[in-house]
Amino acid sequence: FSQTVNITAKAGDPNRIIDRNIYGHFSEHLGRCIYDGFWVSPDLNVPKKDRIRLDIVDALKKIKVPNLRWPGGCFADEYHWRDGIGPRDQRPKMVNTNWGGVTEDNSFGTHEFLELCELIGCEPYIAGNVGSGTVEEMAKWVEYLNSSAESPMTNLRKQNGHPEAYKVKFWGVGNESWGCGGDMTAEFYTDQYKRYAVYARNYKDAPLKKIASGANSDDYHWTETAMKNIGRRMWGLSLHYYTIPTGDWGKKGSATSFTDAEYFKTMKNCLHMEELVTKHSAIMDKYDPEKKVALVVDEWGVWTDVEPGTNPGFLYQQNSMRDALIAGTTLNIFNNHSDRVKVASLAQSINVLQSLILTDREKMILTPTYHVFDLYKVHQDAEYIPLSFTSPDYSVDGKSIPALNVSASKDKSGAIHISLVNLDPAKPIKIQTALEGQSWKSVSGQILTSAKLTDINTFDKPNNIHIEKYAGAKKQGSQLVAEIPAKSVVVLELK
């Protein structure tokens, strides 16, 4: 080992909790996420409720998915909710202009989505249509979902089989309104937000957490304008940022074959999330020093070229050990900014972009990214423990990034969890810490790693990359000492 990294625990705020909603996911009508993902043909030989795939539901329950965002993405601003309710054989069809130009039969609509959330045990997060919808259309959708009073909308809901109000909380007012959601300026959108938000009512016992469409990556003007013009009239403000391996949207790079230099660039691009969250938060702090408005990173993840031979409009990509390091690193960033980041959604749960699960007819595989969410679920709603340290560098061609990233929390039982990512592909890192202010007697751990960064789980070898027991940590006097292997995600438990 070239050096030992000394980690010190800083004095924390006992009231600072890592919101479980940071561990949220995104499911758009895109490619095979909904259709042939969550929602399958009646003939498919898998356990189902209606047409919802229950093996997927079980896998998502295991990692405690806290919320699911739907119906888009870009799709949300072309979606008209009334096409997706009532008898399925009478629902109108539409063309999914954003994603492959395929015909959408609207068989998966509001009730089906809310049934899926109920089965998973997660909160729904619905994105309303601002780009091509009306204020009235959004207002009626909220009334249909959340009102318990007698009205034409609630009668319609009852007629469609749901007497009780759904009480949906998370409500997106548009998506990417600077782009596919209407190509608006920040000034124009923030005025529109106010119109739509006024009529998206808070019904009895069903207050909405309204989330404004936010910045694309480093568009700080957008955040500044939203904070100035909307301020506390929104519960949250969104931010979207994708890790593009090459940094070039025209040729993003392969999901399964990349050089050391490309890996370095990918991780540098992934770590850019730290700067984005820091700078957007600093702008929000100017207008909202009490941190009442949440930063909602409701689209993140690695976006590569599609798997060769698949529909380019379907965004189907494989998921490697590298992507697990991206997930672990990004979740550490969110944990470390959990004073402002309260909700996040990985794009996108099944068969699209950085997926948790890939399916091929009856078969399904859990990706390396899924396993990171499994390891990190211990942080959900736990008390945040701030740590400080100086990371060794990982360098390629004279350029460097920090090799180690870490976050820590204490759960309700008093157990401390530390998640560590060593993104250096070759060198292990030794750490030590006295974890000042914390008491513990024993340490155990779990690890996700693989021989090569390009390793993947396949339908033939679904367990190629899996969680294993980790025995590389021990208590030495009052110190925790551990060796974090190259290219690994480790989660330690101290009790």
Identity of the residue, 266 or 338, whose beta carbon is nearer to ligand AHR in the bound complex: 266
Q: Which residues between 285 and 314 bind ligand AHR (CB under 6 A)?
A: 299
Q: Is residue 405 involved in binding ligand AHR (CB under 6 A)?
A: no
Span of 66-74, 163-171, 323-331, 462-470 interacting with ligand AHR by CB under 6 A: 66-74
CB of 298 to ligand AHR, least distance (A): 9
Between 176 and 383, CB nearer to ligand AHR: 176
Sheet strands (E) in 99-249:
102-104, 123-128, 170-173, 209-216, 236-243
Residue nearest to ligand AHR (CB): 73
> Applying CB under 6 A, does 284 fall inside the site for ligand AHR?
no
CA distance 196 to 151: 20
Select from 347, 375, 489, 492 the one that contacts ligand AHR (CB under 6 A).
347
Please report whether residue 28 would count as binding ligand AHR according to CB under 6 A. Answer: yes
Instruction: Answer whether 123's CB lies under 8 Å from 67's CB.
Output: yes
233: helix, coil or strand? helix
Calculate the CA 154 to chain-centre distance: 32
Residues 488, 368: Cα–Cα separation, whole Å = 11
Look at strands 24-26 and 341-347 and give their pairing. parallel
List 96, 177, 348, 349, residue binding ligand AHR (CB under 6 A): 348
Based on CB atoms, which residue is closest to ligand AHR, 60 or 347?
347
CB of 49 to ligand AHR, least distance (A): 26
73: contact with ligand AHR by CB under 6 A: yes
Q: Judged by CB, which is closer to ligand AHR: 343, or 443?
A: 343
Residue 172 interacts with ligand AHR (CB under 6 A): yes or no: no
The Cβ-side half-sphere exposure at 172, using a 13 Å CA radius, reads 36
C-beta of 196: minimal distance to ligand AHR in Å?
Answer: 18
Residue of 397, 273, 388, 261 whose CA lies nearest to 330: 273
Nearer Cβ to ligand AHR (175/317):
175
- Count of H-run helices and E-run strands, the chain: 9, 27
Element (H, E) at 433: strand 429-433
Asked if the peptide bond before residue 163 counts as cis, ω within 30 degrees of 0, the response is: no
402 belongs to the binding site for ligand AHR (CB under 6 A): no
Using CB under 6 A as the binding rule, the residues of this chain from 147 to 166 that contact ligand AHR are none
CB of 325 to ligand AHR, least distance (A): 21
Q: Pick the catalytic residue from 28, 104, 143, 176.
A: 176
Answer yes or no whether residue 175 interacts with ligand AHR by CB under 6 A: yes
Nearer to ligand AHR, 359 or 405 (CB): 359
CA 219 to chain centre: 20
- Residues in contact with ligand AHR, counted by CB under 6 A, come to a total of 10
At residue 423, the 3 state secondary structure works out as coil
Distance CA 369, CA 324 (A): 5
Q: How far is CA 370 from CA 26, 348, 452, in A?
A: 14, 11, 18
Tokens of 63: 């990692």
Instruction: From 72-80, 206-214, 333-341, 455-463, give the range in contact with ligand AHR by CB under 6 A.
Output: 72-80
Q: Cα separation of 77 and 59, whole Å?
A: 30
Between residues 74 and 364, which has the closer beta carbon with respect to ligand AHR? 74
- Decide if residue 243 touches ligand AHR (CB under 6 A): no
3-state secondary structure of 477: coil
Tell me the sheet residues that pair with 95: 103
Quote the least distance from Cβ 219 to ligand AHR, whole Å: 13
Instruction: Write the DSSP symbol of residue 17.
Output: B
Q: Residue 73: which of 446, 353, 403, 387 has the closest Cα?
A: 353
Rounded Cα gap, residues 259 and 193, in angstroms: 44
Annotation says 28 is catalytic: no
Q: Specify whether 436 is catalytic.
A: no
- Which region, judged by CB under 6 A, interacts with ligand AHR, from 140-148, 278-286, 345-353, 416-424? 345-353
Which of residues 181 and 392 has its CB atom nearest to ligand AHR in the complex? 181
> Least distance in Å: CB of 378 to ligand AHR?
27
**What does the radius of gyration of the chain's CA atoms come to, in whole angstroms?**
22
Tell me the one-letter amino acid at 106.
N
Among 24, 31, 72, 445, binds ligand AHR (CB under 6 A): 72
**Shortest Cβ 246–ligand AHR spacing (Å):** 17
How many CA atoms lie less than 13 Å away from 423 in the CB half-sphere? 32
**AA letter at 31:** G
| Smallest distance, ligand AHR to C-beta of residue 301, A | 8
Point out the catalytic residue in the list 123, 299, 362, 383: 299
Is 176 a binder of ligand AHR (CB under 6 A)? yes
Angle at which helix 135-146 crosses helix 110-120, to 10 degrees, equals: 50
Known catalytic residues are 176, 299
Chain contacts with ligand AHR (rule: CB under 6 A): 28, 72-74, 175-176, 299, 347-348, 353
